[in-house]
Structures are given as structure tokens and as C-alpha cells.
Chain A
Amino acid sequence: MNSKPARMMILLPAIFMASAFSLIPFLLFVSCAFKNPSDVAAVPPEWFPSFYLGSFHSAVTRYDIFHYLANSFIVSGATTLITISLGCLAGYCLARIPRRPGQVILMVILACAMFPQIAIAGPIWSFLRSAGWLNTYQGLIIPYVALTLPLAVWILALFFKQLPEELEDAALVDGCTRAGAFVRVVLPLSAPGLFTAAILTFIYAWNEFFLALLIMTDPAGQTMPVGIALFQGEFTVPWGEIAAASLITTAPLVVLVLLFQRRIVSGLSAGAVKG
């Protein structure tokens, strides 16, 4: 292992296996989106797609996936916006108050993320029904905010702690109020932390299925995961259309991962090191 060729002998197969494990099942599936319907179910499998685009066409025209996509963007976007706004206020508070109470509150907030969704599903559903909020955007956005807040607060609190307090002290001396120092000095420096928390919140809301299934029973308000899960064909499973819809849902996430891999890794692992 100390010589270079020997190292490569182990490293190369390992790299190959890790990327094959991660990518090949997904590629086999989404390639169905570009196959003729008769090729999708062929035995032996038709490995290479024929670049047939009919499945996309039918997914858009017959299954109207763009409205699911629009719902997903509205719900995930609004969730991210609200979670990050509330999260940066709370995170800043926890980073600046004395250690003991700060840690206790942070632990309580984190504990909220550990609960199984089903433990809150019944009461939330009853509440939304009595408020007339089933099948509304706010009915889904508010529970999502509650579920994504803990991780966002955690990431942001860790980030604010790294910023030296002297920065705000200087602003205070210069005549800023506390709130002014936060908005003018701290927030502009926190763009990386805000961004990491926003990506993770967005991915969570984009992928969430359980609550979306309960709350959005009317197809008009359903998000992409619900649409994909409930995809029904008339006689056979419409794999081409499911694959096309899956590819469209996944594409924004894959782009996020490729562009911001470093941030996602550091954001997700923040909890593990300090925890």
C-alpha cells in the first residue's frame, strides 16, 4: 500500500464500485424515460435508450406533471424562506446567549427532529381540517417549517458561533442597535451558512412524502412525490412516464448536489462532529 501502483490497485476498483453502486440503478431506471414503451418491458432488457421523447410528452399532456412541479416549487420555496428566516433569528440567539441555557434549548429543538412524523400526523391533520387548511399550501408549508427548523437552527447556530462577537461590538460602538448590528454586520457575513441551511431545507421539503400524502388529497395541490407515488396507468404501469416524472423531479436536486457538494457535506456532518 505504500507504493503508488499497489495503492491504485485497491483504490481504482473501490472508486469504480462506489460509483457503480450509487449511479447504475438510477441510470437503468431513468433511461426508461427515453425508451420506446415496448422496450421498457423487454426481456432481455434493451440497455440503451432510443431517445424516444413520447414519455415526456405524455407525462406533460396526459398526467399534467407541470402542475405537480409548480406545487413542489411553491411549497419547498416558501418552506425554505420561512424556515431560514425563523432559523437565523433563533440560531443567532443561541450562538450569543450564555453557553448553558443555549445548549439546553438547542437540545430541546434537536429532539423535535427525532420524533417520528406519525406521532404528530393525527393532531396536525385534525387541526388543519378544522381550520379548513387541508389541500392548501399553508397547510403543508407550516408543518414543513416545523420539521425543518431544528436542522436549520443547528447549522446556523454553529455558523454564528464562529463569527467573532467583536464585529457586533464594533458596530454597537459605532451607534448601531443590536438588531441593526445583526442585519448589517452579521447577516452579510453569514451567506455561506444561510445557503447551506437553505439547500438542506429545500431538499427535505422537495422530497417529503408522508405528510404531503395526508394533507394534499386533492390532485390540484399535490407535490411531485405524491404524484409519482400515485401514478396510475389504465392497464399497465406507465414506466416511461414515471421515469420521465422522476427524472424531472430529481434533476434540480442532482444539480444542487453537483454544484454544492462541499456545502451539503459540511452541513450534514456539522451535527455529527459537535454532537
Chain B
Amino acid sequence: MKKKEIKFYLALIAPALLVLFLFIGAPIVQSFIKSLHTIITGLPQLKAPFVGLANYKDLLNDPVAVHSLRLTVVFVATTTFFELLIGLLLALLIHHRFYGRSALRACVLVPWAIPTVVAAQMWRFLFNDTYGMINYFIFGADSASYIPWLAQPGTALFAIIFADIWKTSSFAALLILAGLQVIPQELYQAAEVDGAGVMSRFRHITWPLIRPALLVALLFRTIDAFRVFDLAFVMTHGGPADATNVLQLYGYKKMFVEGMMGYGSAVSVSIFVIVLILAVLYVRMVGRRMLEARA
């Protein structure tokens, strides 16, 4: 490239890179630096002394944080599994050609498009202990056996998992659909001519060919599930007894409710590191699969 062209292209990309550097790259580094200090927002006279890794040491001995990590992992594993499963079924359905397919696609997109906060209020209403319709569906008018879903630790976690599955299965479906769309139709026709049934066509054509798309969906969904916040904030506020106090909510409370910026930053850096490790693992997996597929 000529020098003038390089300048032209640099000028094009510089603004975007600058914004990303200033508001994503630099803040992450700052979060790490803050996590090495004791910073209390309400007490500026303490002047944020450097404490090394003390915040991280406290974090490991903080029963609420360890509990929060454990339940976030349960949340991530369960939601991701069911979202991929339901997403796969939805994708197979909306990939099919039939009259009214685009109407169905639009319907399936509705849960994805509505704000998470709206979905959270919706499920808070449906899971209500006295007039929630979920209780009515299960127990009818027998209100004595109604379950206070959001007021018991186990069922509250179930409720936010359920709400998340409802909200994001359609997103998983779209990612998987993209994988289905690149499979050449001729493969199915050839298999049909050779007498392959529906199941064996799925096993020998669809499944191996959508595995890369499934892995991408797995990557996106796991990483996204780790930052669950809205559902827990609105539906349960982390309760009862911290049963739904997911990591991002815990970090939020530490930083912005209790004003413990240093300690809260240690929480947020930990979330960041977990997500980063997962992302690197997945990318290597996807990358290797892709090479295998090509070989």
C-alpha cells in the first residue's frame, strides 16, 4: 500500500479504536489497579492505600462471594445447556420451509427483542406467590399449596434460570440457524436417494456440520450468562438469603451500594478473568475444530 493510503485507512479506523481504548481497554486496566487498593467511595480522606493482593485474599475467604460464584456457575451451566437444546429445536423448526415461516420467525424473536427488565417484571408477576398464573396452572384454585417461588432459595434460583431460558433461547436459535443455512441442500437430497431416514440424515449430515455453529453459540451464551444481572436485580434483588446473588450483582452491590470500590473491583476483575479463560478455551476449541473440518 502507498503511504497516502495507509494514512487514509488509519484516519478511518482511529476514532473507533480510540473510543474502544478509552471506554473499554483503559477501564479494564484501571479496574485491575483499583482492585489492588482499598478505596471507599464515601471516605475520600482515607486516600486509597495500596494493599497488594489483600482484596483477592479476602475474596477467597468471603463466604458470600464463594457462594455467589457457585450459584453463578449453576446458573450458567443450566441456562446454557437448555438454551442450546431449545435453540437447536427452534432452529431446526424455523429452518424448515413452510407457509408462514417468517411470521413464526418474528414470533420466536419476540423474547429476544423485549428488554430484559420487562421480561424480569413479567416473570416476577407470573411467579407471584398468591396470584401468579404459574401457581394457578400447576395447582388450580387450591391456593393452600401455592409455592412462593421467589421467596424460597431453591425455587428463586429456578425462577431466574427459567426466565433466562425463555428470554435467550431464541438468540441461540438464530446462531444455530446460521449454521444450518450453510449446509448444502444437495447433501440431504443425495442421502434421501440413498434411502437415509430422518434420524440418520440428522446424525450424519446436520449434526457434524452444525457443530461449529453450536460451539459459537455455546461461547456467546456462556460468556453472556456470566454477566447475568437484570433478571436477578428485578426479580429477587439477589435474595432470598443470597440465593440468587449472582456475581455481577454482588460486585454491583459492593461497588455502588456499599461504596467499596477496591473490593468490588476485585470481584469484577475476577469475573473478567473467568470469562477470559472461558473465551480463550472455546476459541481454541472452535479453531481446532475448524482446522479439522478443513483437513
Contacts and interface: CB of A to CB of B under 8 A. Distances in A.
Interface of A: 1, 11, 14-15, 18-19, 21-23, 25-26, 28-29, 32, 40-45, 86-87, 89-90, 92-94, 96-98, 105, 109, 111-112, 114-127, 142-143, 145-147, 149-150, 153, 178-179, 203, 206-207, 209-210, 213-214, 224-226, 228-229, 231, 239, 242-243, 246, 249-250, 253-254, 256-258, 261-262, 264-265, 268-273, 275
Nearest to B25: A112
Contacts of A15: 93, 98, 100, 104
B188 interface: no
Nearest to B124: A237
B255 A257 contact: no
Nearest to B269: A119
B181 interface: yes
Closest 7 CB pairs of A and B: A269-B178, A146-B23, A90-B16, A123-B30, A123-B27, A120-B27, A93-B12
A144 to B, nearest CB: 9
Given A105-B13, A124-B27, A257 B166 contact: no
B197 to A, nearest CB: 8
Contacts of B230: 209-210, 225, 229
A23 B114 CA distance: 11
B179 A146 contact: no
Interface residues of B, number: 96
A115 B275 contact: yes
17 contacts: A18-B104, A19-B108, A25-B123, A26-B114, A29-B122, A45-B133, A90-B13, A117-B227, A149-B20, A209-B115, A243-B125, A246-B121, A254-B113, A264-B109, A269-B175, A272-B175, A272-B179
Contacts of B107: 18-19, 22-23
Contacts of B149: none
Contacts of A242: 121, 125
A265 B109 CA distance: 9
B117 interface: yes
B151 interface: no
B152 interface: no
Given A45-B133, A120-B31, A246-B122, A229 B114 contact: no
Interface string B22-51: 111111101100100000000000000000
B264 A122 contact: yes
B126 A25 contact: yes
Contact of A273 (B13, B108, B178, B252): B178
B102 A262 contact: yes
A144 B131 CA distance: 38
A179 B16 contact: no
B243 interface: no
Nearest to A89: B12
B133 A28 contact: yes
A220 B116 CA distance: 22
B105 A261 contact: yes
Interface stretch (B1-9, B56-64, B153-161): B1-9
Contacts of A253: 113-115
B244 interface: no
B252 A86 contact: no
Interface in B173-232: 174-179, 181-182, 197-198, 213, 216-217, 223, 226-227, 229-230
A254 B182 CA distance: 28
Contacts of A250: 113-115, 118
A270 B255 CA distance: 36
A265 B31 contact: no
Nearest to A275: B216
A257 B114 CA distance: 10
Contact of B117 (A89, A225, A258, A270): A225
B82 interface: no
Contact of A89 (B16, B102, B126, B261): B16
Nearest to B122: A29
Nearest to A179: B8
Contacts of A258: 106
User: Among the interface residues A15, A44, A178, which one has the most CB atoms of the partner chain B within 10 A?
Assistant: A15
B27 A18 contact: no
Given A149-B20, A272-B217, A122 B261 contact: yes
Contacts of A275: 216, 286
A112 B24 contact: yes
Interface in B55-97: 89-90, 93-94, 96
A29 B93 contact: no
A119 B16 contact: no
A207 B24 CA distance: 20
B111 interface: yes
A115 to B, nearest CB: 6
A92 B12 contact: yes
Nearest to B178: A269
B229 A209 contact: yes
A124 B30 CA distance: 9
Contact of B126 (A14, A28, A146): A28
